[in-house]
Structure 1
Amino acid sequence: MNERLTVGRLYPTPAAPLQRNQAAKQTNGSSDFDRLLQNQIVKFSHHAEMRLQQRGIKLDSEQLCKLESAIDKAAAKGAKDTLMMLGGTALIVNVPNRTVVTALDGASMKEQVFTQIDSAVIIT
């Protein structure tokens, strides 16, 4: 407790580097698990949820499984932002985050131009 306090510094210096590395190893274990879990789930952005609700689009468990599989295939090819056609529904998916960004039904797709995508997947 012989440490001097200076302006802007209210807390003592952090733990020694050795102790910080051990703490980092403990947190990395849980972050690896979180990352693995994140890679297995399809997420929907708030915007996508709103569009699904507004347009009356409902995805059943079989369609979600097909979507997960399509995301896996797109990721294997290095895709980043992908247009995925699932039946009469178009989904824009951010592949690295496994997040559906927006959704369009057949009526909303008329005369639409899809920009800022690097790939397209037709899901059958």
Structure 2
Amino acid sequence: MSEQFRVGQSFYPSQTRFPAKQMAPAPTKKPFEQWLQDSLPGTSQKPAQPLSFSQHASVRMRERGIELDAARLAKLEGAVTKAAGKGAKESLIMMDNVAFVVSIVNRKVITAVEQGQLKDNVFTNIDSAIFV
């Protein structure tokens, strides 16, 4: 640098050596409440998909004469939603003397068994039980 300056005098170089920093646009921020709701299991703003029945469950229900009217179906869906809110993945739902094994993650009934056929049955691969 060939420029001269005196003690106590401010020094400003005549040329900038480095190009000005390019600032990235600030990311859009979502409110903390929205972030919290999105991160909790079973509480996202997305509407829950309807409850479905596997082929196996449909056959078993038909064979065993298990019928679900709109009120009982709503009760079962409510239990599934509650289980999802607690982080359950596979649940045994007892409702009106019928045991339903449900994949909470897929919202799918895997099988259904009436009370009379429950004796000596073992339910495996479940992480929760709900009594409705």
TM superposition score category, shorter chain reference: 0.5 to 0.7
- Runs of 5+ unmatched residues, structure 1: 1-35
TM-score (normalizing by structure 2): 0.63
Report the counterpart of residue 15 of structure 2 in structure 1. Answer: none
Equivalent AA in structure 1 for residue 104 of structure 2: V
- Aligned equivalents of 1:63 and 1:104: distance in 2? 15
Match of 1:81 among 81, 86, 90: 90
Report the aligned-residue RMSD: 1.1
- Aligned equivalents of 1:121 and 1:100: distance in 2? 14
Report the counterpart of residue 101 of structure 2 in structure 1. Answer: 92
- Runs of 5+ unmatched residues, structure 2: 1-45
Work out the number of aligned pairs and report it.
87
Q: Percent identity?
A: 46
Match of 2:67 among 45, 58, 68: 58
- Aligned equivalents of 2:54 and 2:103: distance in 1? 10
1:16-27 to 2 correspondences below 5 Å: none
TM-score (normalizing by structure 1): 0.67
Equivalent AA in structure 1 for residue 86 of structure 2: K
Moved over 3 A (4+): none
